């Protein structure tokens, strides 16, 4: 791999190349005036690759088939990605501050791979940092919608390729040879007569005094030595040694531990603190102030904050959903279900009517919501894991009464996210507290508040009606009804800004638009409609490892199994007969083969299969589950919950080009674990009034206090 | 304020703290030892798992006054030194299997795994799947399958 001969003309031999996403291409960028080599890139709009629906009994393509959420995000990002830069330092490392958040999904590793590939650098010479909030990026600083790789793959490689080319040209000029005689390998340039130079030694010489436009060529996939090969995480060593720093591990001067005593109902408000002096006199406590949704307590240790929380005597105002419970919410959902619209059908037609109820589910990561805030009279600085730091910066500036550029927002790596960090609730609260105390604070929510007051995936119902006749499915209707999902984190702004470019018409709400851009049935089920209706209950909601699909697709796949049974067909064979998506068919067949679909299983155990396609990826999962009494009722140490056990799973995924197969594998395993939990046990419930209870339950007392906390894992 | 002394990662240390402050906060907030993580403070998530005299425990649930001067507390930061290497075999196994995703629970996972292997060895046997089932440390990213592979590999490399 010492040399990369590049030709614009050689036709690509890979299917992916034909889509125009991955082929060798000439790319444009800028050499930016800087002390050492710095490259900025312009956005290159991905060619859209509408998938043909080659259905025998065709269903009209749904919007997400031709233009999905990822396309919306790419469209929104297009005008501003030119500001993405890769810098080469004089020590030979390439530095890229990625305008995205790393929360465990592995994007820092994938970005390092992209830079290493196009720059011909060893991975350990690539430094990936998370960019602070950059308002000039407008909407291109949102980590969500499974979009980071899709939106950044070309720009990041482009910047690295231009940097490499500039180094080659610089060396050639320096040595008085043709650029074609200079090769690159592992951060070293080589020329005729055995001349070599490290990248670092030419970093200053390669810099430009004024910004100029240049072009370069990206490697073709056949030349890849890094991309597409399994790589371990770039932060693995820091993780296993305990050195990886999360927000609460940062040492910001004066930022002492801070926690909040919260009202008993969701989004309840503080009316008065009745024992302020006593709280302030507690051991280790430095400050106590009332805030919108609680009593903020700052102290020498988090433990002492917890002790003080347990002593808070406050008068609370009502919250936003007082009086609601699982039962009242379900009744409202059912009342709001949109009607089915199936046309009148002949008498011989048979119908399946099904309804599925999905409980609220906490999207809380293991790391509790946390943020450091240092608010001064005329400026503020925030440290937190934020997937949409620009919106956080805007909102916090407004809240504090400061100009946007007076608020500096640092994006810190997160201990998971699963949708939670699309919102900046905890950062805004830290800012409120710091402003009121006039001191820096290190705010952590408690585990309990994380699921009681934090974001949840909304409760929903999915009704499905299918009409079928003589081996054909004539209509498939799905009516998804959900507690309102909050999209106040930037996706909503994208939709407003690009409404005219999105192929879903009418005056749809943000939520309906996102539903239409993400949901589509992969089956030839005749007249197909999938519609969303929301009820405006003000729970704190958000996505959770995807938005609607975990419920919508689950319901659809369960009905598909029912249909197969009614038609007397094996579930895999039925799907083969009705799938219109060839990539889904391929992953299904592979899963059936590897998972030995249909093999003899002991009584009380079974195989199950499901498929899903979204964000241009196709996945099939085959599981084996053990529901025998000796398994379901097995003793488990401590307070764990027993029940059926998934004993084997085969996941087959076609993600298109896979940048890091090891990272993908980790993601798929993680998704499987979440799916098992959600299907079998994991959920949030409100038994009475608007206070979360967790089913299955571990109850214990933190510290020696009297307040009982209920949590569930 | 009372002064507490104990051995932390091989060094005898002293720290001033109220008696009832849980050790996790003494480590994190007062001593700046941030490897053990806060996940629940209820001894449920176990992301703060460390060792006391070689056995796994959760500093979130032990008051600092209950730590004796002769007690040896080892956090993830001090684990390699217990075998006199840059990395403990269990950490090496974690790297080999690329176990981590976000990494928040992993220091606790590794400490729990080392203690579990030692416990089995003390009983004169190798680690079993039943032992692995007893590990209750939460990993929200869902890295459990790789954790199990890594614990078995790390156990082999830990020797007898």
pLDDT in tens, A666-712: 999 999 999 999 999 889 999 865 455 544 333 333 332 222 223 33
Please state, in angstroms and rounded to a whole number, the distance separating the CA atoms of residues B111 and B88.
10
Contact A288, A299 (CB under 8 A): no
pLDDT at A501 over 80: no
Does A28 contact chain B (CB < 8 Å)? no
Strands A617-626 and A183-185: unpaired
pLDDT at A404 over 80: yes
What residues of chain A, 394 to 413, have a C-beta less than 8 Å from chain B?
413
The residue whose two tokens read 């279900």 is: A337
Please state, in angstroms and rounded to a whole number, the distance separating the CA atoms of residues A680 and A532.
25
Structure tokens at A294: 């609680």
* B96-133 pLDDT, tens digit each: 999 999 999 999 999 999 999 999 999 999 999 999 98
Chain B residues within 8 A of A103 when measuring between CB atoms: 102
Which phi and psi (to 5°) does residue A423 adopt? -110, 155
Tell me if B42 and A700 make a contact (CB, 8 A cut-off). yes
Nearest chain B residue to A698 by CA: give it. B44
Contact B9, B70 (CB under 8 A): no
By residue count, chain A amounts to 713
Please state, in angstroms and rounded to a whole number, the distance separating the CA atoms of residues A23 and A15.
10
* A73-109 pLDDT, tens digit each: 665 554 444 467 899 999 999 999 988 999 999 999 9
Structure tokens at B80: 């390699």
Three-class HEC string of chain B: CCEEEEEECCEEEEEECCCCCEHHHHHHHHCCCCCCCCCCCCCCCCCCCEEECCEEECHHHCEHHHCCCCCEEECHHHCHHHHCCCCCHHHHHHHHCCCCCCCCCHHHHHHHHHHHHHHHHHCCCCCCHHHHHHCCCCCCCCCHHHHHHHHHHHHHHHCC
Would you tell me how many other CB atoms lie within 10 Å of the CB of residue A71?
24
Contact A494, A513 (CB under 8 A): no
How big is chain A by its Cα radius of gyration, in Å? 27
**How distant is the Cα of B67 from the closest Cα of chain A, in angstroms?**
16
Contacts of A453 (CB under 8 A, 6+ apart): A262, A266, A267, A293, A445, A540
Tell me if A242 and B76 make a contact (CB, 8 A cut-off). yes
Query: Where do the H-state alpha helices sit in A27-147?
Result: 63-66, 69-77, 107-119
Angle between helices B106-122 and B144-158 (to 10 degrees): 50
Tell me if A235 and B110 make a contact (CB, 8 A cut-off). no
How big is chain B by its Cα radius of gyration, in Å? 15
Angle between helices A69-77 and A148-175 (to 10 degrees): 40
Domains and CATH numbers, chain A: 15-236 (3.30.365.10), 247-320+364-452 (3.30.365.10), 583-682 (no CATH)
Chain B residues within 8 A of A248 when measuring between CB atoms: 28, 34, 37-38
Q: Where are the beta strands (DSSP E) in A429-551?
A: 441-444, 456-457, 460-469, 472-483, 527-535
Domains and CATH numbers, chain B: 3-77 (3.10.20.30), 81-158 (1.10.150.120)
pLDDT at B153 over 70: yes
Please state, in angstroms and rounded to a whole number, the distance separating the CA atoms of residues A265 and A691.
6
* A509-560 pLDDT, tens digit each: 777 877 887 788 999 999 899 999 999 999 999 989 888 999 999 999 999 9
Rounded to an integer, the average pLDDT of A233-249 is 98
Does A284 contact chain B (CB < 8 Å)? yes
Rounded to an integer, the average pLDDT of B2-8 is 98
Mean pLDDT of chain A: 86
User: pTM of the predicted model, to two decimals?
Assistant: 0.90
**Which has the higher per-residue pLDDT, A527 or A383?**
A383
């Amino acid at each position: 791999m010492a040399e990369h001969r590049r030709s614009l003309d050689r036709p690509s031999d890979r299917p992916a190349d034909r889509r125009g996403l991955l082929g060798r291409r000439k790319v444009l960028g800028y050499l930016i005036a800087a002390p050492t080599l710095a490259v900025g890139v312009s956005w290159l709009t991905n060619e859209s690759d509408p998938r043909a629906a080659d259905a025998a009994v065709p269903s009209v393509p749904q919007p997400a088939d031709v233009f999905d959420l990822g396309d919306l995000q790419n469209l929104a990002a297009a005008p501003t990605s030119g500001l993405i830069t890769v810098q080469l330092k004089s020590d030979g490392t390439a530095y890229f501050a990625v305008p995205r958040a790393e929360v465990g999904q592995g994007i820092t590793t994938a970005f390092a791979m992209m830079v290493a590939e196009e720059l011909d650098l060893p991975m350990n010479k690539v430094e990936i940092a998370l960019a602070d909030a950059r308002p000039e990026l407008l909407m291109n600083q949102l980590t969500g919608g499974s979009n980071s790789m899709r939106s950044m793959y070309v720009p990041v490689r482009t910047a690295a390729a231009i940097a490499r080319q500039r180094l080659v040209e610089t060396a050639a000029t320096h040595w008085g040879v043709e650029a074609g005689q200079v090769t690159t390998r592992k951060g070293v340039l080589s020329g005729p007569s055995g001349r070599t130079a490290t990248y670092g030694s030419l970093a200053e010489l390669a810099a430009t005094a004024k910004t100029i436009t240049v072009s370069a060529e990206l490697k073709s996939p056949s030349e890849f030595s890094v991309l597409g090969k399994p790589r371990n995480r770039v932060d693995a060593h820091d993780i296993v040694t305990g050195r990886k720093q999360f927000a609460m591990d940062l040492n910001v001067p004066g930022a002492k531990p801070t926690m909040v005593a919260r009202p008993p109902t969701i989004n309840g408000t503080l009316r008065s603190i009745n024992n302020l002096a006593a709280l302030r006199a507690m051991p280790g406590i430095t400050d106590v102030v009332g805030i919108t949704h609680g009593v903020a307590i700052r102290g020498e240790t988090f433990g002492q904050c917890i002790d003080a929380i347990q002593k808070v005597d406050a008068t609370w105002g009502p919250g936003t959903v007082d009086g609601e419970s699982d039962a009242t919410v379900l009744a409202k959902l059912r009342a709001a279900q949109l009607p089915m619209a199936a046309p009148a059908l002949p008498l011989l037609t048979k119908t399946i009517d099904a309804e599925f109820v999905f409980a609220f589910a906490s999207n809380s990561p293991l790391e509790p919501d946390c943020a450091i805030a240092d608010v001064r009279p005329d400026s503020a600085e925030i440290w937190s894991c934020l997937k949409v730091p620009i919106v956080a910066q805007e909102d916090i500036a407004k809240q504090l009464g400061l100009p946007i550029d007076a608020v500096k927002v640092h994006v810190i790596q997160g201990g998971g996210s699963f949708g939670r960090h699309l919102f900046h609730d905890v950062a805004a609260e830290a800012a409120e507290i710091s402003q009121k105390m006039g001191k820096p604070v290190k705010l952590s929510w408690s585990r309990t508040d994380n699921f009681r007051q934090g974001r949840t995936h909304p409760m929903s119902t999915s009704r499905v009606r299918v009409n079928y006749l003589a081996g054909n499915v004539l209509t498939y209707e799905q009516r998804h009804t959900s507690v309102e999902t909050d999209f106040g984190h930037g996706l909503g702004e994208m939709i407003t800004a690009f409404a005219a470019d999105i192929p879903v018409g009418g005056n749809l709400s943000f939520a309906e638009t996102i539903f239409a851009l993400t949901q589509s049935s992969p089956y030839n089920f005749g007249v197909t409609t999938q519609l969303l209706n929301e009820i405006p209950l003000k729970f704190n909601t958000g996505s959770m490892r995807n938005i609607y699909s975990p419920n919508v697709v689950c319901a659809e796949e369960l009905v598909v199994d029912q249909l197969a049974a009614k038609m007397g067909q094996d579930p895999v064979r039925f799907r083969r007969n009705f799938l219109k998506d060839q990539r889904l068919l391929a992953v299904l067949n592979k899963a059936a083969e590897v998972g030995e679909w249909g093999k003899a299983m002991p009584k009380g155990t079974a195989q199950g299969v499901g498929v899903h396609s979204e964000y241009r990826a196709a996945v099939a999962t085959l599981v084996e589950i053990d529901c025998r009494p000796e398994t379901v009722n097995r003793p488990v140490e401590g307070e764990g919950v027993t029940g059926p056990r998934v004993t084997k799973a085969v996941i087959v995924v076609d993600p298109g080009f896979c940048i890091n197969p090891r990272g993908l594998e980790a993601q798929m395993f993680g998704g499987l674990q979440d799916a098992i939990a959600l299907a079998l046990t994991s959920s949030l419930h409100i038994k009475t009034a608007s206070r979360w209870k967790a089913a299955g339950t571990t109850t214990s007392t933190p510290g020696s206090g009297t307040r009982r906390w209920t949590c569930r894992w | 304020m009372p002064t507490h002394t104990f051995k932390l990662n091989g060094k005898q240390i002293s720290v001033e703290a109220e008696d009832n402050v849980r050790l996790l906060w003494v480590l994190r907030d007062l001593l700046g030892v941030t490897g053990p993580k806060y996940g629940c403070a209820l001894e449920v998530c176990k992301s703060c798992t460390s060792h006391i005299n070689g056995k796994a425990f959760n500093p979130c649930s032990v008051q600092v006054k209950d730590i004796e001067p002769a007690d040896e507390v080892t956090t993830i930061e001090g684990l390699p030194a217990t075998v006199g290497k840059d990395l403990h075999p269990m950490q090496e196994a974690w790297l080999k299997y690329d176990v981590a995703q976000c990494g928040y629970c992993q220091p606790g996972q590794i400490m729990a795994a080392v203690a579990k292997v030692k416990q089995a060895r003390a009983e004169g046997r190798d680690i079993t799947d039943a032992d692995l089932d007893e590990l209750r440390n939460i990993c929200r990213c869902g890295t459990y399958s790789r954790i199990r592979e890594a614990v078995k590999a790390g156990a082999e490399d830990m020797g007898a």
